[in-house]
Structure 1
Amino acid sequence: MLRSIILVTLLISSVCALHLEMHKEESNGNETDEGSGDTKTEQLPGVCWACKWAMKKLKKQISNGATSDEIKKKLSMVCDEIGFLKSMCMKLVNKYTDTLVEELSTTDDARTICANIGVCKK
């Protein structure tokens, strides 16, 4: 029982810290350069994992001949299944929609796609 309480407390603390960091970034107006690969988003815990999770899921769902509209539709729905990282996932998808559509049309794996948009280290 004590382990469960500690685990839940740590989980809640992590989510609160993540939310605070995202709020600080938004309030500072820090817009990062997409091409730099060294973005503020990369520093947020969980963003790389969330990106890889979403891209792996999408790669399994998208056929080789999928149109950009089909990919956009799947992109808009993929974050619904990620749990407490849903808002972070949606921000990521909304910010990089066009780039992700292009990347998902290639044979790149999930890690490469996330590194190319700058949320994971190369």
Structure 2
Amino acid sequence: MLRFILVTLLISSVCALHWEKHKEESNGNEIEESSGDIQTEQLPGMCWACKWAMRKLKKKLSNGATPDDIKKKLSLVCDEIGFLKSLCKKFVSRYSDTLVEELSTTDDATTICTNISICKK
């Protein structure tokens, strides 16, 4: 019984410390525009979410897709991402024009996300 209590306290302490550290780190890591450019330091999971969304969109878009077609599909892609849905929606709404332009090219998902500075080179 004593072991169980000690293990529970240890786990709780580690979780609390991790949570506090994560809160401190995330205070300055919001998606913001800085003189027209995307900050290179992003929220955790942002690169993965970008690549996931761009892969999904690339599969759904035909070669002759218009900017309006791309915008419609962009607005719906985040509904399928799960727990990163709100992060994805913020990203798409803030950078939709840039994403429409990038999705009009033949670049792959990784190249697109790197070009718009969401993923590191």
Same fold (TM over 0.5): yes
Contact kept? 1:58, 1:78, Cα under 8 Å: yes
- Quote the RMSD (CA, aligned, Å): 2.7
Matched to 1:59, the amino acid is K
Structure 1 residue 32: Cα displacement? 2.5
- For residues 17-96 of structure 1, the aligned pairs below 5 Å read 17=22, 21=26, 24-25=28-29, 31-35=33-37, 39-41=40-42, 44-96=43-95
Q: In structure 1, how many angstroms separate the alpha carbons of the residues matched to 2:47 and 2:117?
A: 9
Q: Which structure is higher in RCO with an 8 Å CA cutoff and minimum separation 6?
A: 1
Unpaired segments of 5 or more residues in structure 2? Answer: 1-10
Unaligned runs of 5+ in 1: 1-5
Which residue is 2:103 aligned to?
Answer: 104
- The CA deviation at 1:38 is 5.3
**Structure 2 Cα separation of the partners of residues 74 and 31 of structure 1:** 24
Query: What is the CA–CA distance in structure 2 between the aligned matches of 1:24 and 1:106, rounded to whole Å?
Result: 32
Shift of 1:109: 0.2
Contact 2:39/2:117, CA 8 A, preserved across alignment: yes
Stretches of 4+ moved more than 4 A in 1?
Answer: 23-26
Rg bigger for which structure?
2
- Whether contact under 8 Å (2:79, 2:85) holds in the other structure is yes
CA distance in 2: counterparts of 1:92 and 1:34, whole angstroms: 14
Deviation at 1:31, TM superposition (A): 3.4
Name the structure 2 match of 1:116.
115
Letter matched to residue 117 of structure 2: G
Give the TM-score of the pair, scaled to structure 2: 0.73
Q: CA deviation at 1:95?
A: 1.3
Give the CA deviation at 1:40: 2.8
